[in-house]
Structure 1
């Protein structure tokens, strides 16, 4: 019984290490998102850090339109990055979890 418990603890520590490694790797996973007409482009990491923005000159002349474009496009980029982040971490966590009855 004690050996089983130690084995599970070691497996949990390994899983935790893999999760941390995955989080670190996701800093380098870049996702590109753009408005429907490509007037605003965003590059974001899977860890939801914005790396770059490209704004069409036309948007710079209309503050309200630019704000709308930013909100819509950034939200799309964040949603996409979050989906990648959660999928990657779930896969690593599931792979590394010990088989504990009842969980």
Structure 2
């Protein structure tokens, strides 16, 4: 592959990455506590879109704080997996491998 073709392919791949990132803003991940008293919705780009708290949790500040940390972290883990899987798929399919740059896309 000549240098100009490789540069064109890299630019095209970068555009696909940007398009994928924009699309991931619309992919919603829902997570909730095991008892359903706290629910969180975030995008695959880790932007919190909604938090729903049962009135039962409003009486115990410490429990609410614990629930928020646990549920938000679980949602972030799921969103991160979706994000990495989607972006990895774009870069592996479209990116020309340049000798010595393989580690950049892991």
Q: Pick the TM interval, shorter chain.
A: over 0.9
Q: What is the count of residue pairs matched by the alignment? A: 101
Distance 1:50 1:86 in 2: 18
User: Which structure is richer in relative contact order (CA contacts within 8 A, separation 6 or more)?
Assistant: 1
Q: Deviations over 1:34-53 (max 9, x none)?
A: 01111100010001000001
* Length-normalised TM-score, structure 1: 0.93
CA RMSD of aligned residues (A): 1.2
- Alpha-carbon distance between aligned partners in 1 of 2:35 and 2:56, rounded to the nearest angstrom: 12
Unaligned runs of 5+ in 1: none
Extract structure 1 runs of 4+ deviating beyond 3 A.
99-103
Return the alpha-carbon distance in structure 2 between the equivalents of residues 100 and 58 of structure 1.
Answer: 57
Structure 2, unaligned stretches of length 5 or more? none
